[in-house]
């Protein structure tokens, strides 16, 4: 034998028994015409009545149901609280029967037989069964015997129907422990349990003896059940419960054994076994989940805090000691706002009021909290209102220490600010250097062009005069040397002119950007053997020195890059003014820039073009398509004109 007898169900049992019993129950009552049947809850309120009640009392079914059953008593008995006394008597004795006056709906009275029977679910009273009949027109003696017998029979049917409708395995024992009544669930189990013979746990068997003879793994539980049932039967104990395992080869099951004494002269007990497997498994799962979440909370890096509606600390996770220096329970009962920095207190107080107004609301907050050592730590928190949760009724805050991160961010901002200042200073210095370079170029160009070049030219002219003064009939070696010297002086004069033009074209100041840039494009095309197409549109005759110099120098650098890197002999240069913007475009049709150019460190030429554009208030753009060429575009606001 491997289970407490008569209770361990090794297979999943269908709950259809309840539905079948309920149907039979209603069919039985609906067709009873002689007596009215009423079902009352534990307070005496009518929850069901059959058609015979309506015929006998004149009350419609809908009017009686959900009303106090005392409505059928005469007014004087209601005043004397007789209905309540009858219910108390039925609870104590198990039933109550009487013949007395009852009142119909129209106010007329009739002599009635009224039987009240208690309905139990294990040890709990969940209602009453009431049988009522009109015996006004019957002889008193015959009526009394017959009706009481009939009432007894109906009461037994009612008890049997209710008992069989229960899911638990229920049995009634006499004072010696013999089974005198069992419900359908008990009998069904006895038939299906191969290890228990129906006779050993059926009516007439001694249940104490069966428990006493149990052996094997269930012996311990059977012994505990034997002791508890014996105490109930000898009335030394008013209640006994026992939870025990009952595992089979295919499934694990747990049951709850409950026993209560019968309030009869002969004694006895009601025993029930309820399958609690689902509850036990749910509890184990909950315990496992609780352990899992407990481990998460206790090992979390963040601080988890529970506050009540008044911001009183109700819980702190263990991580508070690592983050803020307090022991886990040190802040319990303290107001969290007392530890907030004064600068943050108004904002946090307003946030608490806001989140408490909306259950389930989530709010991100950042605040300074006083460390146990006295210094302030910056915490970043997520607060959620669980005011509607009866377990918490407050706010759950998940906080993370971000002090070092905020300090690093502040240092980074300071570093970035310093870098921006340095960059601005560098740009200003670069601008000053470019302006100084341009002034020096202009000065050197003037000196070369106006002084040195003129002096060389005068020397060449004088040398030419000397040569003409020599005899022409028989020119000698001196004449040849002088002519060679004249040629070298002329070449030197041209080199000085070109050098002066490259340092700073004088025509840029004298004739304007369009003429100077066209001249440079023609000269550059001859020198590099390239085809350069120059166009300009909408430019005024005069332009600010800063803007004209920037456009000229950017064009110079872009042409040098095209000649050096593009591999193309064809370049387009355009300068135009449209809608308040002056635009320079230099485009070649060569190989273009490689894809990795975007990540490569920029060269000095491109950097100088960008700085020149920036100093003139403009912006430089570079675009390229491999195999199609490169385009340099510089845009300047026309306010510089």
Mean pLDDT across the chain, nearest whole number?
A: 79
pLDDT-derived band at 10, boundaries 50, 70, 90: very low
Beta bridge partners of 301: none
Amino acid 25: pLDDT: 59
- Helices 545-561, 604-615: axis angle to 10 degrees equals 160
- C-alpha 570/C-alpha 525 separation (Å) is 9
Contact 172, 262 (CB under 8 A): yes
Q: Across the strands, what pairs with 68? A: 45
Between 343 and 151, the more confident residue is 343
pLDDT for res 14:
30
- Between 402 and 418, where is the model more confident? 402
Is 70 exceeded by the pLDDT of residue 610? yes
Closest residue by Cα to residue 376 from 324, 414, 311, 308? 324
Q: What is the largest CA-CA distance in the chain?
A: 187
Angle between helices 16-30 and 140-165 (to 10 degrees): 160
- pLDDT above 90: percentage of residues in the chain: 21
- Burial of 430 from C-beta contacts in 10 A (0-12 / 13-18 / 19+): middle
Average pLDDT over residues 418-424: 77
Q: What is the mean pLDDT of residues 487-497?
A: 67
Q: How many CB atoms lie within 10 A of CB 425?
A: 10
Residue carrying structure tokens 């385009």? 631
Tokens in use for 59?
């009350």
Which residues neighbour 576 within 8 Å (Cβ) at sequence distance 6 or greater?
535, 536, 537, 538, 539, 582, 583
Least confident stretch, 149-163, 396-410, 418-432, 560-574? 149-163
Length of the chain: 641
Beta-carbon contacts of 282 under 8 Å, excluding residues fewer than 6 positions away, are none
According to DSSP, the residues that pair with 197 across neighbouring strands are none
Distance (Å, rounded) from C-alpha 389 to C-alpha 92? 41
State the pLDDT at residue 180. Answer: 85
Read off the pLDDT of residues 325-377 as tens digits, 9 standing for 90 and up: 999 889 999 999 999 999 999 999 999 988 888 888 898 989 999 999 999 99
Mean pLDDT of 602-626: 86
Angle between helices 477-503 and 453-469 (to 10 degrees): 160
Identify the weakest region by mean pLDDT among 466-470, 480-484, 608-612. Answer: 466-470
8-17, 135-144, 223-232: least confident range? 8-17
More confident: 633 or 356: 633
Look at residue 42 and tell me whether its pLDDT is greater than 90: no
CB–CB of 538/552 below 8 Å?
no
What would the mean pLDDT of 47-73 be, rounded to a whole number? 89
Mean pLDDT to the nearest integer, 278-287: 78
pLDDT, position 345: 92
12 pLDDT more than 60: no
Residues 32-37: contacts with CB under 8 Å, at least 24 apart: 32/154, 34/133, 34/150, 35/113, 35/131, 35/132, 35/133, 35/150, 35/151, 35/154, 36/131, 36/132, 36/133, 37/129, 37/130, 37/131, 37/154, 37/158
Residue 129's nearest CA partner among 55, 33, 74, 50 is 50
Question: CA nearest 11: which of 282, 167, 192?
Answer: 192
The pLDDT of residue 17: 32
Overall pTM surpassing 0.85 (yes/no): no
């Amino acid at each position: 034998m491997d289970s407490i007898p008569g209770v361990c169900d090794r297979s999943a049992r269908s709950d259809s028994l309840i539905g079948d019993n309920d149907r039979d129950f209603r069919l039985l009552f609906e067709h009873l015409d002689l007596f009215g049947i009423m079902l009352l809850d534990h307070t005496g309120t009518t929850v069901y009545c059959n058609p015979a009640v309506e015929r006998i009392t004149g009350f419609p079914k809908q009017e009686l149901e959900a009303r106090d059953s005392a409505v059928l008593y005469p007014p004087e008995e209601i005043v004397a609280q007789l209905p309540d006394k009858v219910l108390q008597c039925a609870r104590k004795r198990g039933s109550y029967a009487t013949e007395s006056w009852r009142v119909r709906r129209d106010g007329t009275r009739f002599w009635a037989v009224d039987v009240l029977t208690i309905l139990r679910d294990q040890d709990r009273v969940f209602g009453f069964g009431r049988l009522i009949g009109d015996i006004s027109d019957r002889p008193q003696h015959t009526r009394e015997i017959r009706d009481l017998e009939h009432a007894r029979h109906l009461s037994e049917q009612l008890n049997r129907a209710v008992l069989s409708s229960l899911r638990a395995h229920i049995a009634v024992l006499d004072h010696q422990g013999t089974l005198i009544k069992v419900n359908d669930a008990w009998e069904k189990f006895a038939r299906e349990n191969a290890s228990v013979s129906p006779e050993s746990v059926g009516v007439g068997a001694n249940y104490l003896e069966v428990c006493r003879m149990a052996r094997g793994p269930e012996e311990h539980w059977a012994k505990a059940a034997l002791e508890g049932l014996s105490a109930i039967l000898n009335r030394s104990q008013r209640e006994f419960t026992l939870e025990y395992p009952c595992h089979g080869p295919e499934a694990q099951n747990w049951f709850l054994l409950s026993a209560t004494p019968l309030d009869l002269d002969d004694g006895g007990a009601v025993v029930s076994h309820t399958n609690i497997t689902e509850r036990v498994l749910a509890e184990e799962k909950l315990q496992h989940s609780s352990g899992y979440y407990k481990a998460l909370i206790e090992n979390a890096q963040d601080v988890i805090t529970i506050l009540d509606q008044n911001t009183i600390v109700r819980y702190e996770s263990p991580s508070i000691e690592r983050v803020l220096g307090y022991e886990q329970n040190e802040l319990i009962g303290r107001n969290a706002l007392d530890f907030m920095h004064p600068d943050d207190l108004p904002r946090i107080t307003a946030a608490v009021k806001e989140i408490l107004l909306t259950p389930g609301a989530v709010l991100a907050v950042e605040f300074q909290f006083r460390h146990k050592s006295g210094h302030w730590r910056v915490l970043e928190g997520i607060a959620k209102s669980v005011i509607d949760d009866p377990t918490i009724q407050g706010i759950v805050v998940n906080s993370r220490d971000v002090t070092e991160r905020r300090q690093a961010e502040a240092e980074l901002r300071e570093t970035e600010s310093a870098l921006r200042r340095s960059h601005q200073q560098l740009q200003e210095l670069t601008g000053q250097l470019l302006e100084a370079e341009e002034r020096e170029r202009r000065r050197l160009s003037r000196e070369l062009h106006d002084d040195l070049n003129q002096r060389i030219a005068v020397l060449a002219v004088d040398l030419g005069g000397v040569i003409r003064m020599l005899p022409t009939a028989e020119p000698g070696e001196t004449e040849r040397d002088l002519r060679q010297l004249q040629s070298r002086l002329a070449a030197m004069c041209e080199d000085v002119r070109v050098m002066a033009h490259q340092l700073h074209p004088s025509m840029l100041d004298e004739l304007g950007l369009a003429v100077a840039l066209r001249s440079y494009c023609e000269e550059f095309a001859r020198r590099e053997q390239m085809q350069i197409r120059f166009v300009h549109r909408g430019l005024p005759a005069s332009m600010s020195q800063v803007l004209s110099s920037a456009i000229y120098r950017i064009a110079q650098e872009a042409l040098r890059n095209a000649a050096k890197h593009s591999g193309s002999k064809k370049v387009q240069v355009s300068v135009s003014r449209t809608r308040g913007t002056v635009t320079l475009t230099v485009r070649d049709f060569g190989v273009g820039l490689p894809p990795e150019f975007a990540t490569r460190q920029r060269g000095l030429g491109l950097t100088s073009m960008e700085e020149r554009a920036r100093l003139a208030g403009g912006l430089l753009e570079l675009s390229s398509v491999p195999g199609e060429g490169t385009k340099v575009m510089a845009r300047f606001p026309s306010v510089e004109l």
